[in-house]
């Protein structure tokens, strides 16, 4: 009996030691640092991390709060403020160039701030802001939502890009192989280009805007309401092109070729929509 009790005590001791060691290691690997800055209107904020997520949300009118979460001790954060400009960048420590080390950032910024984010693997997310936004990544998933009046510029190699409810600004998205998803995106200029990625648009193309979607091999699909007001021109050099609802003919210098292109208008043709692909399929569909 005593022997059994002794074994139980030993077992418990071992488990406790293991648990303490684990918690210690976890606590060491994940540390947080906070940086706070006071800025004026239209502050310019840049954050760059080789590996890690960056999330930006609106905060108070004059403060920028940055929370950096370190996953290891092989990375260093350089941060500086020069007037209304804040620059934050993380990099691997000297002698550890080959190791991937992650730093995640969470930012609360004034709604009118200009944001520049760069991360290889991301994800990157920005929401509910009114300033200009620039995102760049290699494989990073990028999500931008509820942006009013700000210009949006996105450059991606392979990561998917998603914009939701972005209005009244210029939108330019360039991707080499990533998909581009646009939902309720309107503005004076909306341009999306992808080499092999797919472009999907769900919206009404607003009013008085220029929309240009271009792919090389990726398909383009636009889902529009019945009362959309736009002039459409679609052409695929080698792919199939079709529209699923009637368009009014439009006089144009561009030649229409059945199955390869179409030209036409809907409603008052308030916006101009150009869909081009080299070998991808293009389809204009009506929302149900």
Among 102, 193, 243, 281, binds other proteins (CB under 8 A): 193
Q: In this structure, are residues 118 and 138 in contact, taking their beta carbons and an 8 Å threshold? A: no
CB of 118 vs other proteins, minimal distance in Å: 7
**In the structure encoding, which two tokens stand for residue 83, read together?**
């007037």
Provide the β-strand partners of residue 121. Answer: none
Scanning 32-40, 183-191, 221-229, 271-279 for contacts with other proteins by CB under 8 A, the matching segment is 271-279
- Cite the beta strand spans of 120-239 per DSSP E: 124-129, 133-137, 142-148, 152-156, 161-167, 170-175, 180-186, 189-194, 199-202, 210-215, 220-224, 230-236
Instruction: Provide, rounded to whole angstroms, the least separation between the CB of residue 239 and other proteins.
Output: 8
When binding is defined by CB under 8 A, the residue of 77, 278, 285, 286 that contacts other proteins is 278
With respect to other proteins, which residue has the nearer C-beta, 67 or 196? 196
Give residues 206-245 in contact with other proteins (rule: CB under 8 A): 214, 216-217, 235, 237-239
Is residue 250 a contact residue for other proteins (CB under 8 A)?
no
Beta carbon of residue 257, minimum distance to other proteins (angstroms, whole number)? 8
Minimum CB separation of residue 176 from other proteins in Å reads 5
Residue 258 Cβ vs other proteins, minimum distance, rounded to whole Å: 10
Contact 232, 262 (CB under 8 A): yes
In the complex with other proteins, the residue whose CB is nearer, 183 or 272, is 272
> Which residues does 154 contact at the CB level (< 8 Å), separation at least 6?
134, 135, 136, 142, 144, 161, 163, 172, 173, 174, 175
Question: What residues numbered 149-188 form the site for other proteins, per CB under 8 A?
Answer: 155, 157-158, 174, 176-177
Q: How far is it, in rounded angstroms, from Cα 178 to Cα 65?
A: 31
Look at phi and psi of residue 148 and say left if phi exceeds 0, alpha if psi is from -120 to 50, else beta. beta
3 state DSSP class of 260? coil
Cα 172–chain centre separation: 12
Find the part of the chain contacting other proteins (CB under 8 A) among 6-14, 74-82, 135-143, 263-271.
135-143
Site for other proteins in 86-125 (CB under 8 A): 98, 100, 118, 120
Number of amino acids touching other proteins (CB under 8 A): 27
| 15 versus 238: smaller Cβ distance to other proteins | 238
> Considering only CA atoms, which of 57, 171, 44, 177 is closest in space to residue 124?
57
Burial of 91 by CB count in 10 Å (0-12 exposed, 13-18 middle, 19+ buried)? middle
At closest approach, how far in Å is the CB of 39 from other proteins? Answer: 25
Nearest approach, Cβ of residue 122 and other proteins (Å): 13
By CB under 8 A, which span of 7-15, 83-91, 201-209, 276-284 interacts with other proteins?
276-284
Residue 139 contacts other proteins per CB under 8 A: yes
The C-alpha atoms of residue 65 and residue 17 are separated, in whole angstroms, by 37
Positions that interact with other proteins (CB under 8 A): 50, 98, 100, 118, 120, 136, 138-139, 155, 157-158, 174, 176-177, 193, 195-196, 214, 216-217, 235, 237-239, 276, 278-279
């Amino acid at each position: 009996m005593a022997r059994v009790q002794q074994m139980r005590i030993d077992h418990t001791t071992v488990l406790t030691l293991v648990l303490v060691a684990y918690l210690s290691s976890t606590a060491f690997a994940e540390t947080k640092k906070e940086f706070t800055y006071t800025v004026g209107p239209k502050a310019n904020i840049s954050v760059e991390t080789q590996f890690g997520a960056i999330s930006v949300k609106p905060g108070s009118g004059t403060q920028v709060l940055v929370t950096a979460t370190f996953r290891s001790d092989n990375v260093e954060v350089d941060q500086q403020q020069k007037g209304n400009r804040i620059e934050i960048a993380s990099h691997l420590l000297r002698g550890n160039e080959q190791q991937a080390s992650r730093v995640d950032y969470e930012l609360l910024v004034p709604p009118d701030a200009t944001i520049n984010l760069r991360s290889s693997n991301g994800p990157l997310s920005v929401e509910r802001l009114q300033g200009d936004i620039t995102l760049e990544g290699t494989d990073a998933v990028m999500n931008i939502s509820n942006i009013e009046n700000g210009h949006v510029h996105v450059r991606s190699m392979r990561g998917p890009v998603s914009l939701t409810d972005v209005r009244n600004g210029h939108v330019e998205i360039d991707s080499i192989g990533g998909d581009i998803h646009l939902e309720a995106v309107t503005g004076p200029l909306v341009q999306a280009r992808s080499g092999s990625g797919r472009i999907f648009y769900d919206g009404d193309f607003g009013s008085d805007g220029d929309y240009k979607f271009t792919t090389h091999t990726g398909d383009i699909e636009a889902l529009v309401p019945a009362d959309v007001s736009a002039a459409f021109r679609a052409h695929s050099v080698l792919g199939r092109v079709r529209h699923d609802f009637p368009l009014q003919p439009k006089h144009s210098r561009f030649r229409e070729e059945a199955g390869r292109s179409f030209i036409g208008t809907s409603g008052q043709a308030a916006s101009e929509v150009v869909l081009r692909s080299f070998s991808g399929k293009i389809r204009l569909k009506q929302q149900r």
